[in-house]
C-alpha cells in the first residue's frame, strides 16, 4: 500500500485544532450571558455524565441572565448541583423546572484570570497545530526516504505545510486577541 501526502488532510486536522480552540474560548466568561458559558458543565444524569445541552435548553432572556429549562423534573436538582459546583461562580435560583442564573459583574482581577485561561487555551491550540505539522513533515521525510516523492516535491510540500501552520497559528492569535478585548471590555 503506497502512502501519499495530502495537504488537504493536514489543513483539515489543523482546522480541527482551531475549532476546539473556538469552543474553549466560547466557554470563557466575559461578563455577559452566553449559552455557551455552560457547555463545559457535565450533569450526572441517568447513571452517566452528560453535557447540559442533553438535559436542558439554555436561553439568554436578558444580557446578564441565563435561563436553563430542564426537560425532566427529576433532573432539576442534579443540574442545579452541577452548576453550583462548577468553577463559574454562578448562583442558581430554581423555579420549578427553570433555573435562572444571574451573571455577576466581573472585577478586574477575574477578567485578568479569564485572559490567562484564554492564553492557556491558545497555547494548547498552537501545540496541536504544530503536532499536525510535525506529523506532516515526518510523513514527507518517510516518503522521500522511500523514494515515493522527489526531494524537490518534498521541499515544496514542506513549505506548504509550514505556510498552513503559520496561517493557523495566526488565526489562533487573532481569535485570542478578539476574545481578550471582549473579556476586558467593561
One digit per residue, the tens of pLDDT, for the chain of length 186 reads 346 889 999 999 999 999 999 988 887 767 777 888 888 888 988 888 999 889 999 999 988 889 999 999 999 999 999 988 877 778 899 999 999 988 877 788 888 888 888 899 999 999 999 999 999 999 999 999 988 888 899 999 999 999 999 999 999 999 999 999 988 876
Q: Distance between CA atoms of 116 and 110, rounded to whole angstroms? A: 10
- Where in the sequence is the domain holding 161, given as residue range(s)? 7-25+107-184
Q: Is the domain of 132 the same as that of 171?
A: yes
Q: Is the domain of 21 the same as that of 89?
A: no
Q: Is the domain of 97 the same as that of 113?
A: no
Q: Identify the burial level of 26 via C-beta atoms within 10 angstroms of its C-beta, where 0-12 means exposed, 13-18 middle and 19 or more buried.
A: middle
CATH classification of the domain holding 146: 1.10.132.20
Q: Is the domain of 65 the same as that of 80?
A: yes
Number of structural domains found in the chain:
2
Q: Distance between CA atoms of 63 and 114, rounded to whole angstroms? A: 19
| Domain finish residue from 75, 102, 129 | 102
CATH classification of the domain holding 89: 3.30.1360.40
Global confidence as pTM: 0.70
Amino acid at each position: 500500500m503506497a502512502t501519499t501526502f495530502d495537504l488537504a488532510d493536514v489543513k483539515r486536522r489543523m482546522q480541527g485544532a482551531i475549532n476546539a480552540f473556538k469552543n474553549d474560548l466560547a466557554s470563557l466568561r466575559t461578563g455577559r450571558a452566553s449559552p455557551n458559558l455552560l457547555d463545559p458543565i457535565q450533569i450526572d444524569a441517568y447513571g452517566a455524565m452528560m453535557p447540559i445541552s442533553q438535559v436542558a435548553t439554555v436561553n439568554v432572556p436578558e444580557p446578564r441572565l441565563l435561563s436553563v429549562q430542564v426537560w425532566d423534573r427529576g433532573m432539576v436538582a442534579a443540574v442545579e448541583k452541577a452548576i453550583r459546583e462548577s468553577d463559574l461562580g454562578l448562583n442558581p435560583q430554581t423555579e420549578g423546572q427553570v433555573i435562572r442564573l444571574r451573571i455577576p459583574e466581573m472585577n478586574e482581577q477575574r477578567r485578568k484570570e479569564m485572559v490567562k485561561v484564554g492564553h492557556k487555551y491558545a497555547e494548547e491550540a498552537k501545540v496541536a497545530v504544530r503536532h499536525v505539522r510535525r506529523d506532516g513533515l515526518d510523513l514527507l521525510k518517510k516518503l522521500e526516504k522511500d523514494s515515493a516523492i522527489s526531494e524537490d516535491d518534498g521541499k515544496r510540500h514542506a513549505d506548504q505545510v509550514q505556510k498552513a501552520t503559520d496561517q493557523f497559528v495566526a488565526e489562533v492569535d487573532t481569535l485570542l486577541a478578539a476574545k481578550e478585548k471582549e473579556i476586558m471590555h467593561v
